[in-house]
Every structure is written in structure tokens, then in C-alpha cells.
Structure 1
Amino acid sequence: MANGSTLPRRALGRQLRKLRDRAGLTQTAASRVAEISPQSYGRIEDGRQTKVTDLGLNALANAYKATDEERQLLLDLAREIRIATASGGSWWRGYTDAIASGFDHYLSLEESASWVTSWQTTVIPGLLQTREYRRAIDWSLNPNAATEDVERKLDVITRRQDLLDQPGFRFEALLSEAVIRYQIGGAAVMADQLQHLIERTELSGVEIRIVPFAEADPVGLLAKSFVLISFPPLSSSRLQEPPVAYTELLTGDLYMERGPELDRYAQEAERIRHVAWSESASRDAMLRVHKELK
């Protein structure tokens, strides 16, 4: 699986932050050393797309009193970013008009992932949605949207789902029973969506498990929906990037990458797995609801 430029950018940002903290310098001071704006330097440490040169990295390494090994790691990561960038832009660059502001960052993380765990309490996760199911959601959110705009958004969903066929990619969907019982788009649309879920369980890298209504422990319902994204080692440096927890809020998206926050989401996912039905029992439940809708 290709990591793209997202993972080496994140790794470079983490290494620079570590060295800067050790040197006791502020981001503003570091930006002066690299001869870029404080905003641009902040984006580098955040792992966002910003041009960084070997000259600037060498200047930062000098200011941070980096060892030869630390300096070489910075330069190796920068080279990996350039190689990944030169190989071509990510597929969603052609769909910027159909992607919500800021969601390209999520797509870049998702594309770089080796394992995604999605806990959902109300809707099917995007990687498993049918076009008709997603169309019903989009029309509900924006009933005045032009048909061509909605179709462009649906194309993005379809392209995202190519990940499920990538070797080495694993998708774990943990769903509240409400997700498979809400009749979004009507009975026919939901029946087709459930049939799609049942077919997806036949893929080796897809696991779908349901938390039943009868479960007395409200675990997961209190945490609300979230996604955990884990990554493979970088191809050249073999650095292991830490996971990211993501949650979609009404007023914006929230990404958590710090240890304590991340640990809480990882622990919550484990608790949800503990109360969820097995894969086979979850499949049986989807078959039952599918039969009720036909």
C-alpha cells in the first residue's frame, strides 16, 4: 500500500517538534531560522502540505543542535515527501468542488492507513455506503443542492471505497443496532444497503460487528461516533506513525493525536468490541433486518 506524502509529512513534523522542544525554541524563532512565516512553519510541524527545502532543514538542524543521525533522518523524510509528491497527486484533487472544506485532510489519512476502525451510532460509515443510501443523506442535509453537485459527492464515496480492495488494508465497522434499523431513504434503499453490507463481509479485510439494543452497558453510546486510523511503517525510514482519532462534530471536525486522548478512544473501541456480537451473529442480524424490509 502506498503511503503517499501524508505519513512522511507527519513524521517530519513530529521530528522537528521534538528537536525544537529539546532546543527550547519557539515556532516563531524556528520560522526565522528557516526563513519562512510562522504559519508555514506551524503547518510543517502539523504534518500539513507545505514546501520545505533541504537548505531550510539543514538550518533548523544547526539551530536545534541535531546529531548527524537526526539531521539525516530529516533529510530522508523530506526526500520521501518529494518522491511521493512527484508520483502524482491524490485522486481527490479532481473533486475539490465536491469535498467539504478540510475533509481532504481526512481523506489523506484514510488513504495512508493500514487499519481503520469506525464506531457509528446512527449511519453506515462512508466506506460501506451505497450510492442511494448516501444520496438520501445528502438530500436530507441539503435539499436545495443541484443534482450534479450531489452526484459529484457520490463519486467521491465510490472512489473512497476502492480502499477496501487494497491488499493489506483492514476496515473494522462497529455499529449500533440502530444503524441497521434506521430506514434512511426508505425501506427499499435500506434493504439494498443491508445487502451491500452482507456482501462486504465476504471481503477478507472487512469486519462488521453490531452492538445490540439489548446490551445493558451503554459503552460507545456515551462516546458517540468516532474513527481510529492506524498506519503502516514508512517505506524508507521504517518510522511508525502513531494513530489518529477522528470525530465529526456539527461545528467542525476534531483530530486527536496526543497520547492520553488517543488512549481513551483506543480503550473505548476495545470496550465496544467486548459487547458487540460476533461477525457471524452480526451477519445473521443484518439478514433478519433485510428480510423484514423486503
Structure 2
Amino acid sequence: MPGRSNPTLRQRRLGAELRKMREQAGLGGTELGRLLGASPSVVTQMESAKIGVSAERVRSFAAVCKCTNQALVDALVEMAIERGKGWWEEYQGVLPTDFLEIAEMEAHAHKLYTWATTYIPGLQQTGTYASAVFSRISPPLPRHDIDVRTAFRVQRQRVVRGRRTPYVSFIHEAALRMQFGGPRVLADQLAALIEASEQPSMSVRVVPFDMDTFPGAGENIMYAEGQVPELDTLQMDSAQGVLFFHSQADLANQRATFAGLDSTALSEDASRDFIRNIASELKGKYE
């Protein structure tokens, strides 16, 4: 198959899962190549996603590695035969790759979770609020870049809501009170958040300041459930950019984080009331 210069997030994930499968079988690249009738360099290229992998090759790979997880093998086969371009690819060369890969991850997610501590989750931001968030980046972005990033974020929301992807967001009170764009922008954002929380596929849960614990780290994170648990993905915002994790240890740790959030956060109805109260407090600042 032809070589790739810039494999996508999904293509890299397929290669990574093949490598995990080989390592769990205790096979080296040379030995696996011999069993597959391929050179060690071909094995390396498959695992680094530099070349495509056919459905037949995935099944042969799994058979040689004695992988009995048929659900995982079937999911990897589906990844191998995926064709067509995603809507986000229209933004190649316009936006950083991080933005495109988040949209790609969301497009294939069976369920999404977010834990936001500093700002409203991107999938629930109004255009005005998102623009204000991007305007705070240092050094400042040109107006055109802010507008493109904002439009992309709004499109991500439309896609996720259009697909009715189940989505649970846990939001710390600090994120609800950060006034990106000022009190009126925040008040409008909170009203939109309440409206979004009433959609059947979306759940919003608040973690107030007075909770006696703070689950997980302080970064904003998104957890995307895959077709099988082994293909779940963790995405984290950081000062160095967007990070993706998919080791079983990282995934297990974040599942525990969300389980903790589920047990400590306010209920959906109590969360809506909490958000309404903050919005009411803001009215006196701009009326």
C-alpha cells in the first residue's frame, strides 16, 4: 500500500494497537514479520501508520499474535477499512493539527465525557464566549485566526449534537465563574449551557467549591469511549498543546476520576439551579 507522510489520529491509533498486540504476544518485529511473510521494515511501517493495513492483514496479525479478543479485532478491521474524508479536513493548513484531531476523535466516539475546571467545555461554548477565550491567548492571535477557531468550535458542536452522541460534562464552579468576555457574555453562556443540558443526549453536572474533594488533575480533559473499551481515548489540554493518551493505565485512571465525579457532583436538576443562581448574580453587573 502507498506510504503516508501525515497519518491521521485514527491511523496512528490502529498502528499503536497492532504494536500492543505484538508486544503482548512476546514477539519481536523480525519474528512477527517472518510469521506474516513480511519484512521487519513492513511491520515497523504498519505499526507507525506509515503504510495502510488491509482488513485481511489485521486479521492475520491478530491470529499470529493469538489475540482472542474478537470484538477488538473486529473494531481494528473497521478502522483499517475506513475511507472518505472527515469534515474537519477542510481546515487542513488553516488550523493547528490538534484542532483537527479532536474533531476526528469526537466523530468516532460512542460517548463523550468532559471535566472542565477553567472554562466551559468547548462543545458547550457559545460563539461569543469561544471568541473571548481565544482572544485571551498569549501572544494574541490575529482576528482572522480567532474567527476561524471559533467557527470550527461551533461546527464541532453541531456535528456532535447532530449525531446525538451521548455527552456528559462535569464542570467545576470555577469554570462557571470565569468571566471570559465580561459578565454579559458569561450570563449568555450560562443560559445556553442550561438549554443544552435539557437535551436528551446531554448531561451537565456541577462540582461546587464547597465539595470536600477535587477529583483528578486540574487540566480540562475529554474522555471518548470507543467501539470497545480498549479503543477509548483520553484528550487533555495543556500549556504545551493537546495531548492524547490511550494506555490502559491512563484510561483506567481517568475512568476512576469520572466515577469519583459522578459520586460527588450535583444532580442534573440541582446543577441547573446552581447555574441559574450564578447567572442571577451576574445580572447586577451589567444591567
Separation (CA, whole Å) in 1 of partners of 2:127 and 2:90: 19
Question: Residue 265 in 1 paired to residue 254 in 2?
Answer: yes
Match of 2:90 in 1: 94
Q: Deviations over 1:194-236 (max 9, x none)?
A: 111011012111100101111122334x454322110236xxx
Separation (CA, whole Å) in 1 of partners of 2:263 and 2:181: 31
Q: What is the letter of the counterpart of residue 247 of structure 1?
A: M
**Aligned residue among 167, 170, 173 for 1:177:** 173
8 Å contact kept, 1:23–1:65: no
**Aligned residue among 263, 279, 282 for 2:268:** 279
Matched residue SS, 1:89: coil
**Which consecutive residues of structure 1, in runs of 5 or more, have no partner in the other structure?**
45-49, 234-239
Match of 2:17 in 1: 14
Distance 1:122 1:112, change over 3 A: same
Match of 1:57 in 2: 57
Q: Deviations over 1:226-280 (max 9, x none)?
A: 22110236xxxxxx64311221221233322222221111111111111111100
TM-score by length of 1: 0.78
Of structures 1 and 2, the one with the larger relative CO (CA 8 A, separation 6+) is 1
Q: CA RMSD in A?
A: 3.6
Match of 1:163 in 2: 159
**Which consecutive residues of structure 2, in runs of 5 or more, have no partner in the other structure?**
1-7
Question: Residue 154 in 1 paired to residue 150 in 2?
Answer: yes
How many aligned positions are there? 272
TM-score by length of 2: 0.79
Question: Residue 226 in 1 paired to residue 226 in 2?
Answer: no
Match of 1:123 in 2: 119
8 Å contact kept, 1:209–1:279: yes
Separation (CA, whole Å) in 2 of partners of 1:230 and 1:97: 28
Q: Deviations over 1:42-69 (max 9, x none)?
A: 323xxxxx432549938x759x8468x9
**Structure-to-structure mapping, 1:227-246, within 5 angstroms:** 227-232=222-227, 241-246=230-235
8 Å contact kept, 2:122–2:153: yes
Separation (CA, whole Å) in 2 of partners of 1:130 and 1:261: 31
Per the TM alignment, residue 14 of structure 1 is displaced from its structure 2 partner at its CA by 2.2
Per the TM alignment, residue 34 of structure 1 is displaced from its structure 2 partner at its CA by 6.5
Distance 1:80 1:179, change over 3 A: closer
Distance 1:37 1:282, change over 3 A: same
Separation (CA, whole Å) in 2 of partners of 1:95 and 1:8: 19
Distance 1:293 1:41, change over 3 A: same
**Structure-to-structure mapping, 1:131-146, within 5 angstroms:** 131-142=127-138, 144-146=140-142
Q: Deviations over 1:173-207 (max 9, x none)?
A: 10111111111110111011111101101211110
Matched residue SS, 2:168: strand
Question: Residue 33 in 1 paired to residue 39 in 2?
Answer: yes
Separation (CA, whole Å) in 1 of partners of 2:33 and 2:23: 8
